[in-house]
Amino acid sequence: MNQAQRAAEEFRARIGEPTGVWSAPGRVNLIGEHTDYNDGYVLPFAIPHRIAVAGAARTDGLLQVATLGDDGKLNQADPVPVADLTPGKVTGWAAYPSGVAWSLRENGIPVTGATLLIAGDVPAGAGLSSSHALECATALALLDLSGHPAVPGPSNSAVPGPGHSPGQPAFSGGLAPDLPTLARWIQRAENDFVGAPTGLLDQTASLRCVEGHALFLDVRSGETEQVPFNAAASGLEILVIDTRASHSHTDGGYAARRAGCEEAARLLGIPALRDVSLDGLAEAEAALPENLRPLVRHIVTENARVLAAVDHLRAGDLAEIGPILTASHASMRDDYRISCLELDVAVDSALKAGALGARMTGGGFGGSAIALVRVEDGERVRAEVTAAFAAHKLTPPRLFSGVPAAGAGRDQ
């Protein structure tokens, strides 16, 4: 039974017949960390783990949300009038679906109320974007239930070169947002209602990824390219290592680094760190205080790594991205300073066991790492990583193969 079926079955048993079921995936970011809020490049892919929302419309203006635990118990939040939703009014897990309803309302969608039941298997706190999967599934549900479904739009468009910066496409008005617009509405829910200063990577990945591909996104222009990514065909796999060291974007470390990047851009007189070229990095560093230089160095070199990885994927040279992944981790560990013991143990032990490359993925300070592994080396890498965690007296990691899956949509 998949998560959509599970949500539908529980809704019928506890509430009645749902109008529909919608689901959205978690994601692995192959490379391009913390570049999204710097107008840069990212390269995520969706994973098969999903959050599903079964729902029915209401006419009393109330939003009633409940989440189904792994133990089968239902955790119900207090119903709240959609018209009364304001930042800070709802806290905890219920803030995520409530924030989406608030953002839709603020953008002119007439949300008349809904009853939603949530089920999912995206690990929370694992850096695999469980919160955005929940928000994306909720957004699609509330739009459909209000009679204003999102417009899918094209799944693929050429990404311009690094010098192109036409700005984000604007919402055209009306009551049927396209997916890029919906991603920005969800970002507003996350930033302003939940209080997490995230960029556009996770929402866009959950909404727009397609099976068998990684999504190359130019965050500044909003343009995308679906890049074929079939590791198995090359005798490879992406091993996901959930360290079980939980992280949260609402913690201060993420916000501090974003603020540092914005301050560096201000001092350099540019819109965003995306505008610093690799050739111009040394000059930019020389113009900045010492504490901001490592942040800029990571963003500029990470953008270059994304572009290099995309070139290898386009050419079908998947194994060649291994050293790029490892260089990305070193940059996040040493320059951006967002790694931790668990992530370093995961990366180092995977490389020691023969992985072609490895890096942390997600916002950092915990969560998951990924390793590019030859299929024949998979068991050895898994065993080495598990043994290394035991040697450091850490909680055993959760390991699974990351296979590019479909993005969000309506299941029933």
Q: What is the pLDDT of residues 172-229, one digit of tens each?
A: 445 789 999 999 999 999 999 999 888 899 999 999 999 999 999 999 999 999 999 9
* Cα dihedral sign, 176-68-187-58: positive
Segment among 49-53, 165-169, 354-358, 389-393 with least mean pLDDT: 165-169
What is the pLDDT, as a whole number, of residue 70? 85
Of 159-173, 252-266, 339-353, the range with the lowest mean pLDDT is: 159-173
Question: Which of 23-27, 107-111, 195-199, 252-256 has the lowest average pLDDT?
Answer: 252-256
The confidence score (pLDDT) of residue 155 equals: 47
- In the chain, the percentage of residues whose pLDDT exceeds 70 is 93
Extract the tokens encoding 328.
Answer: 């990305």
On whether the CB atoms of residues 365 and 190 are closer than 8 A, the answer is no
pLDDT, averaged across the chain: 92
| Model pLDDT, residue 153 | 62
Long-range Cβ pairs for the range 265-274 (8 Å, 24+): 265/38, 267/292, 271/39, 271/165, 272/38, 272/39, 272/40, 272/220, 273/38, 273/39, 273/40, 273/299, 273/300, 274/35, 274/38, 274/39, 274/40, 274/165, 274/219, 274/220, 274/299, 274/303
Q: What angle do CA 25, 340, 385 make, to 5 degrees?
A: 75
Nearest CA among 26, 24, 35, 36 for reference residue 200: 36
- Has residue 169 got a pLDDT over 80? no
Burial 323-336 (b: 16+ CB within 10 A, else e): ebbbbbbebbbebb
Length of the chain: 412
Q: What is the pLDDT of residues 23-42, one digit of tens each?
A: 999 999 999 999 999 999 99
Pairing of strands 20-31, 367-374: unpaired
Closest residue by Cα to residue 65 from 97, 91, 89, 87? 97
Mean pLDDT of 243-259: 80
What are the catalytic residues?
A: 202
